[in-house]
Chain A
Amino acid sequence: MPKALRYKTGKEMLPRIFFQKISTTELHIHENLHRPHPCTSSILQFPLLLYFSPTMSLLKKVSQAQIRQVKQLSAQIFGESYNPDNIRNGAKVLAAPLKGPAIASYYGDNNSTPTFKDFKQWFPELKLVDPKEEYRVMMVALRKKRNKGAPKKKTS
Chain B
Amino acid sequence: MPFRFPVKFELPKHCYINARVLKDQFKRLQVAEHEVTRKALKYIARNTELPAKARLEAQLQLAAMPKYTCQTQIRDRCVATGHSRSVISDFKLNRTAFRNMARANQIPGVQKASW
Contacts and interface: CB of A to CB of B under 8 A. Distances in A.
Interface string B7-37: 0001011110000010001001101110110
Contact of A103 (B32, B36, B42, B47): B32
Contact of B14 (A88, A98, A107): A107
Q: Chain A CB within 10 Å — which of B10, B47, B74 has the most?
A: B47
Contacts of B39: 93-94, 98
Contacts of A87: 48-49
Q: Chain B CB within 10 Å — which of A94, A104, A109, A112 has the most?
A: A104
Interface in B36-59: 36, 39, 42-49
A15 interface: no
Contacts, number: 65
A90 interface: yes
A88 B48 contact: yes
B61 interface: no
A87 B46 CA distance: 11
B43 A93 contact: yes
Interface in B46-101: 46-49, 71, 74, 76, 79, 92
A81 interface: no
Interface residues of B, number: 28
A107 B47 CA distance: 35
Q: Which range contains the number of A residues in contact with the other chain?
A: 20 to 34
B71 A115 contact: no
A99 B71 contact: yes
A45 to B, nearest CB: 43
A101 interface: yes
Contact of B48 (A89, A93, A113): A89
A87 B43 CA distance: 14
Contacts of B92: 106
B32 A106 contact: no
A82 to B, nearest CB: 14
A84 interface: no
A108 B28 contact: no
Interface of A: 87-90, 93-94, 98-101, 103-104, 106-110, 112-113, 115
Given A87-B49, A104-B31, A107-B25, 7 more contacts: A90-B43, A93-B46, A94-B39, A100-B33, A104-B32, A106-B28, A110-B10
